[in-house]
Chains A and B, each alone.
Chain A
Amino acid sequence: MAFQRNRATQPRLQALGLPMTLLCVILGAALLAPWASDWGLQDIDWEAIQAPPSSSHWFGTDMVGRDLFTRTMAGARTSILVALIATSISLLIGILWGATAGYAGGRIDLLMMRVVDLLYGLPFILIVILLVVLFGRQPYLLFASLGAIFWLDTARIVRGQALRLRQADFVQAARCQGYRHTYIIVHHLLPNMRGPLLVCTTLTLPAIMLAESFISFLGLGIAEPNTSWGTLIADGTQSMEAAPWMLFFPGTLLIGCIWCCNTVGDRLQNQVSEGSHSLGKSHLRTPTR
């Protein structure tokens, strides 16, 4: 058994390597960029307005002569940060909701999951757009609203796990010993669904990244003086005929990042569902665009 298992997981671990490495490279470059580049975020090179990539401007410059490498990496930091914060929020809501429903079971479960079903049917990106338009482009609003709409998948998965685990002997034992429900959920249920939670995280991250770029593209997300991949891509499309590099670099990085996250998520999902058949046929991926 051990031998078989080993053989089954070996190639997947290797395959995890490439996207993981790419992700680390992008992240590392984004974090180290301020020291690698001679140009500041708003520095204008009057000698090189909309210049193609060269040795002094690795990614070229934009229409007012700002260094695109610096800006793309700053955009990377923003986009990744937004994705991380919003994902944490969505995980938090999803775990709370799903674990409560699954652990409580019965009528509470039915009611809470009905709410999730109902919310699935709503055009949520529209609500985020509305929120951002109506209440101004504050970053924290963007984090919160993105996080608040991507928790449904997490809630469903966590609920399924909790439903399965609450019958387990060690949970029953803890209950007999009189531990409080919150204690049991935090100390017995959650640690036992680390795998599925990891999968949720890796598949929520790219979805939120997509949504953020979508909203920034419409001119509603991250605003000057800050920048994000979506904002840069929007600028890039404006001048893609004259300066295709303005679309190419942020675009490639965004696609690469999402591809890596998706691939890592898929492999993890395969491994996790192989272990416990727990994720079942629930398909996490719902592209948002």
Chain B
Amino acid sequence: MMMAVTLLAIITLVFGMLRLAPGGPFDGERDLPPEIEANLKAAYHLDEPIVSQYFRYLGNLIQGDLGPSFRHQDFRVNELIAAGLPTSALLGTLSLLLALSLGLSLGVFGGMNPGSTLDNALMGFANLSIAAPTIITAPLMVLVFSIFLSWFPAGGDGGLMHYILPSMALALPFAGAIARLVRAGVIECRLEPYIVTARAKGLPERRIVYRHILPIAILPVLSFLGPMAAALLTGSIVIEQVFDLPGIGRYFVQAALNRDYTLVMGMVLVYSTLIVLFNFLVDLAYAWLDPRLKGA
């Protein structure tokens, strides 16, 4: 229910913004003859009142149709998004996994020995990676790993090797943030009575960490995952540009500049749906990890 309301809110907001803004999709460098412009507008139903355009869009949307692209002629928005989505999805998934695994391990190593040299070094790294925006780290990685060392391709699409640098660059700040959260969680529950009990009955350290500490220490990370998913998606706009990946992110700015109403709407919709879905999954995971929350 909440999901539907959120999506409807963003559709309405973006729809309104696009139509209120000056300029239209057919304002080229050359003025079109008025008859042709009128015909074009009629073909795309742009001559109708805004309210009926809005409901027409919603009606098509319910049937899964995002409409024709105004600028990429002969393409439906569905096709454009379907072409770019696998790339973006792969990039996002890889970054998410990377951020989680890196952040969890850094956080646990730091949190199990708070105050040690290792802990200080790890947290220093985490803080630095949080402070370093991808607009700096991504080009820097290209410079070092592609141009100087030639370990990885500098850009383009083709095989998993092309995704390693981009997902590293995208994941790094989130890995840092996750490491901090996990570390705080580990430190908090490390000395709880049930951990002491687990240790007293002779459980191996590995099992204590995996079975007893992590499920609790990971809870703050879960609530961070929602905003993080949103930030990952927007971050991928820059990453796709720097690494020249053919995902959907690279369309966004261009589509907005072109006033390609349907393409912009489609992209915002895809992003919002992903975020809303992700938040829903996070809520489910919460209840699974911490049974006390099930009632709520």
One of B52-60, B74-82, B225-233 at the interface: B225-233
Distance (whole angstroms) from the CB of A44 to the closest CB of chain B: 25
B6 contacts A122, CB within 8 Å?
Answer: yes
Contacts of B135 in A (CB 8 A): 213-214, 217, 230, 233-234, 237, 289
A165 at the binding interface (Cβ < 8 Å): no
Q: Is A263 an interface residue (CB 8 A)?
A: yes
Is B22 touching A135 in the complex (CB atoms < 8 A)? yes
Whether the Cβ atoms of B231 and A129 lie closer than 8 Å is: no
Interface residues of A in 120-139 (CB under 8 A from B): 120-127, 129-131, 133-135
Is the Cβ of B14 less than 8 Å from the Cβ of A254? Answer: no
Which one of A123, A131, A254 contacts B271 once the chains associate, using CB atoms below 8 Å?
A: A123
Which residues of A sit under 8 angstroms from B271, Cβ to Cβ? 123, 126
Q: Report the separation of the CA atoms of residues A125 and B234 in the bound assembly, to the nearest whole angstrom.
A: 7
Q: Which residues of B contact A219 (CB under 8 A)?
A: 253
Within 8 A of B (CB), among A150-193: none
Cross-interface CB contact of B173 among A133, A240, A287, cutoff 8 Å = A287
A124–B23 CA distance with the chains assembled, in angstroms: 23
Whether B17 lies near A131 (C-beta < 8 A) is yes
Nearest B residue (CB) for A258: B131
Residue interface mask B113-132, A partner, CB < 8 A = 1: 00000000000000110111
Query: Is A286's CB under 8 angstroms from B224's CB?
Result: yes
Beyond A127-B14, A133-B257, A287-B231, whether A121 also contacts B130 by CB under 8 A is no
Given known A-B contacts A123-B233, A281-B220, A289-B238, A206 and B143 have beta carbons under 8 A apart? no
Contacts of B102 in A (CB 8 A): none
Q: Which residues of B have CB within 8 Å of A289? A: 133-135, 173, 231, 234-235, 238
Residue of B nearest to A234 (CB): B135
Choice from A130, A220, A241, A286 contacting B147 with Cβ under 8 Å: A241
CA distance A130 to B16 in the complex (A): 12
Give A217-239 as 1s and 0s: 1 = Cβ < 8 Å from B's Cβ atoms.
Answer: 11110000000001001101100
Known contacts A121-B275, A213-B133; is-contact A259 B128 (Cβ 8 Å): yes
Does A118 contact B2, Cβ atoms closer than 8 Å?
yes
The answer to whether A285 touches B13 (Cβ under 8 A) is: no
**Smallest Cβ-Cβ distance to B13: which chain A residue:** A127
Q: Given contacts A123-B271, A254-B136, is CB(A237)–CB(B242) below 8 Å?
A: yes
Task: Return chain B residues, CB-CB under 8 Å to A91.
Answer: none
| Interface residue B9 (Cβ < 8 Å from any Cβ of A) | yes
Tell me, yes or no, whether B256 is within 8 Å of chain A by CB. yes
The answer to whether A126 touches B234 (Cβ under 8 A) is yes
B131 touches A255 (CB 8 A): yes
Interface string of B1-45 (1 = CB under 8 A from A): 010011001100110011001110000000000000000000000
A254 close to B237 (CB less than 8 A):
no
Give the docked Cα–Cα distance between A120 and B229 (Å).
11
B153 within 8 A of A: no
Check A277 for interface membership: any CB of B closer than 8 A.
no
> Please, which residues of chain A bring their CB within 8 A of the CB of B21?
134-135
- A244 lies within 8 A of B143 (CB): yes
Q: Give A282 to B241 CA distance when docked, in angstroms.
A: 33
Q: Within the complex, what minimum Cβ distance (angstroms) separates B255 from chain A?
A: 9
Contact with A along B243-261 (1 / 0, CB 8 A): 0000000001100110100
A contacts with B, residue count (CB < 8 A): 48
Contact between B252 and A259, CB atoms less than 8 A apart: no
| Nearest CB of A to B248, in Å | 12
- CB pair A288–B231 under 8 Å, yes or no, is yes
User: Does the CB pair A130–B264 fall under 8 Å?
Assistant: yes
Q: List the B residue with the shortest CB-CB distance to A153.
A: B227
A247 on the B face (CB < 8 A): yes
B214 an interface residue at 8 Å Cβ cutoff?
A: no
- Knowing A220-B253, A287-B177, A287-B231 touch, does A122 contact B272 (C-beta < 8 A)? yes
**B96 interfacial by beta-carbon distance below 8 Å:** no
Contact A123 B234 (CB under 8 A): yes
B93 close to A (CB within 8 Å)? no
Q: In chain A, what residue has the closest Cβ to B228?
A: A286
Within 8 Å of chain B (Cβ to Cβ): is A262? Answer: yes
- Residue numbers in B under 8 Å from A247 (CB-CB): 136, 139-140
- Distance (whole angstroms) from the CB of B23 to the closest CB of chain A: 8
Determine if B223 is an interface residue (Cβ-Cβ < 8 Å): yes
Q: Which residue of A lies closest to B169 (CB)?
A: A289
CB contact between A285 and one of B143, B177, B226, B259 (< 8 Å): that residue: B177
Give the most central of B135, B180, B253: most A CB within 10 Å.
Answer: B135
Is A255 a contact partner of B230 (Cβ separation < 8 A)? no
Residues of A within 8 A of B14 (CB): 127, 130
Chain A stretch 231-288: residues in CB contact (< 8 A) with chain B: 233-234, 236-237, 240-241, 244, 247, 251, 254-256, 258-259, 262-263, 281, 283, 285-288
State A220–B234 Cα separation when bound (angstroms): 15
**If A123-B272, A213-B133, A218-B238 touch, does A129 touch B256 (CB 8 Å cutoff)?**
yes
**Which positions in A face B, CB cutoff 8 Å?**
117-118, 120-127, 129-131, 133-135, 206, 210, 213-214, 217-220, 230, 233-234, 236-237, 240-241, 244, 247, 251, 254-256, 258-259, 262-263, 281, 283, 285-289
6 other contacts beyond A123-B233, A127-B13, with CB at 8 A cut-off?
A: A121-B230, A123-B10, A126-B234, A218-B238, A259-B128, A286-B228
Q: Which 5 A-B pairs have the closest CB atoms?
A: A134-B21, A259-B131, A133-B256, A237-B139, A286-B227
